[in-house]
Amino acid sequence: MTVTLSWGALFLYCCVVLSVSGSKILFVSFTPSPSHQKPFQEIWRTLTAKGHEMHVITPNPLVNHTYANLIQYDIGDVYAWAAKMNQLKKKDIKYSLQKPNFLHTFLKEFAVNRGWHAVHEYTFQLPEVKRLLDTQSSFDAVIVEWLYPTAAALAGYYRAPLIGICSLGAPTNGLDEIGNILNPVVTPDQNVPIGRGDFSFRDRLLSALYSVFIRLYYHWCIVPTEDRTIRKYLGDDIPYLGDITRNISLLLLNRNQISHRLMSVVPGIVEFGGLKYDKIVQELEPGLKHFLDNSKNGVVYFSMGAAIKQLAFLSPQQIDVFKSVLGELPYNVVWKWDNETMDEKPDNVFISSWINQTAVLGKKPLSVKFRAQL
């Protein structure tokens, strides 16, 4: 009897162990923004460390890694292209950065859509994307950034389950695709300029109208246009793009119910806000270190990110407003600026074209009173 049980246990053990294997996963993110790519890097790094074979299309590949099961397709050229396009499309960028009003909330979507469309069309023409498509690989799952529908076509191309991921919350249409329909009066879209306090009648009206507008614009304009675009690169042997996006299996959101607006979610949505990153000891530039060491009351960190060139896209009046407000604060301010000089710079402000944000926020015993980043 003991021998029989032992052989039975060994048989079950072998069945379990031998049947476990890693998956082959394609991870796709085209957005040329380091802040968007940072949480994605941690996701695919962890999946790789767990033994999955990861194929990653990204403008920010991991460097000096030792993973044999990580294949990266570097589309970093999109940064230079985006910088060039920003100069050519200043009108659209400036319009998107205007102080929002009722009508602007709707009209800016046309400018934003033109930008997303251009990014995806350019990226699908890059040699690294063509290299992936030429390999004729197959994948167990395709994970795509869930802000714009175009890249989801790769799930239809490879006949693989579709997983969406966002480095922030998902827009209304992205939530609709997985069946997470929101009440616009209770939970406005993240792109609607409404605060988190009590909603006025105007706020509720704006949110309700926007929810109708963005759905019509998405299904009647964006999806058909992107479907025609993607067929130029993937061929006609794929389902309609709208059918592909509606078959999403899982949506991962980099948000946390504690710090974000209250939102009900279906079981198919997993929130991973508060993701812990590996701690890397980084040195501060001497001038910045001296400034921080002398900031006895703490500092305010202010950055508009890598994509927004302030001198190009902000008017002198807007820049003067920032100077005035930051200069009146009772704290020192670290401002990520476009270059190393600034006319009439407030005395409590330190500027630099490159600031190691991780090192600044991690400096002890410094207290960062507020971090403003777009």
| Structure confidence at residue 294 (pLDDT) | 84
Q: What span, in angstroms and rounded, lies between the C-alpha atoms of 40 and 142?
A: 14
Q: What span, in angstroms and rounded, lies between the C-alpha atoms of 264 and 284?
A: 41
Same domain, 290 and 264: no
Same domain, 252 and 301: no
Closest of 338, 339, 341 to residue 304, by C-alpha = 338
Domain with 314, as residue range(s), is: 286-373
CB 251 within 8 A of CB 168: no
Q: What span, in angstroms and rounded, lies between the C-alpha atoms of 172 and 370?
A: 29
Q: What span, in angstroms and rounded, lies between the C-alpha atoms of 237 and 232?
A: 11
CB 174 within 8 A of CB 166: yes
Q: What span, in angstroms and rounded, lies between the C-alpha atoms of 144 and 322?
A: 36
pLDDT digit string (tens) for 62-75? 888 888 899 999 99
Say which residue, 154 or 363, is predicted with more confidence: 154
Question: Do the domain assignments include residue 153?
Answer: yes
Question: Do the domain assignments include residue 251?
Answer: yes
pLDDT digit string (tens) for 268-317? 999 887 766 665 556 778 888 888 888 888 888 888 776 677 766 777 88
Of 83-92, 182-191, 365-374, the least confident? 365-374
| Structure confidence at residue 142 (pLDDT) | 96
The type of residue at 315 is: S
| Structure confidence at residue 123 (pLDDT) | 94
Same domain, 309 and 174: no
pLDDT digit string (tens) for 87-114? 656 666 665 666 677 788 888 888 889 8
Same domain, 151 and 47: yes
Paired tokens of 90 = 């200043």
Same domain, 231 and 319: no
Q: How many angstroms separate the Cα of 347 from the Cα of each of 301, 318, 333, 344?
A: 15, 19, 9, 9
Burial class (CB in 10 A: 0-12, 13-18, 19+), 68: exposed
How many CB atoms are closer than 10 A to CB 244? 23
The type of residue at 342 is: M
Question: Do the domain assignments include residue 359?
Answer: yes
CB 48 within 8 A of CB 25: no
Check which CATH number belongs to the domain holding 364 and give it.
3.40.50.2000
Same domain, 237 and 336: no
- The answer to whether residue 76 scores a pLDDT higher than 70 is yes
